[in-house]
Amino acid sequence: MAAICAMLACAALAGCTPKGVAVGASHGESQNVAHDSVDRQDVTIGVVGALGNPPVSDAVVMNDLAKAGLFARFASTTNNADATQAAQQAVRDWASQRVSVIVVNALNVTDTTARSWTDALGYARGAGVPVALLDPTNPPQDATLYAAVLRMGTDPAGSDPNVGSSTYKLDAALSLIINDNPHPATMRIG
């Protein structure tokens, strides 16, 4: 009986995965579907702590979210035997808890970690939970694994030729992603 319930749950989640794009990645008008937005008080953000020395500290990110009145949970990657594995497990945990969006700070996908990051981010995608990458050093090659890159602590013009000239507040950018409203693939946060 448990196996049948598990299969039904997986089948139900499969309907949450858009074809050919990331969850929450409406980069054009043609993909946007009329829908009701998620109420701000119902938003929960899962923040995955940075690996290494990020351009924007985790404390700054959490403080900005708190100032905006958004409820955020934090998963630290420090003081772990394997910080990458801890970060990947945090992505899976947030996806299982059905947060509104997962924010991964300072992601650096290497040849060694590419497959495990694809698995972790693919799990979130399969669960229908959008992922935003905050100042990634090296994002995954598969852009369907994340909804947007947010450039907050790095000089967007110097570090990312894809960033637009518009500047978004962190909460506004996340709202666009959560509600699957059209937004640039790379957003400048200020």
What one-character-per-residue DSSP string does 20-61 give? Answer: SS-TT---SGGG----PPPPGGG-EEEEEPPSSS-SS-HHHH
What's the DSSP call for residue 141? Answer: S
Name the average pLDDT for the chain: 83
pLDDT of 30 > 90? The answer is no
> What is the pairing mode between strands 186-189 and 131-134?
unpaired
What integer is the mean pLDDT of 147-163?
72
Residue-wise pLDDT tens digits, 116-141: 999 999 999 999 999 999 999 999 99
pLDDT of 7 > 60? The answer is no
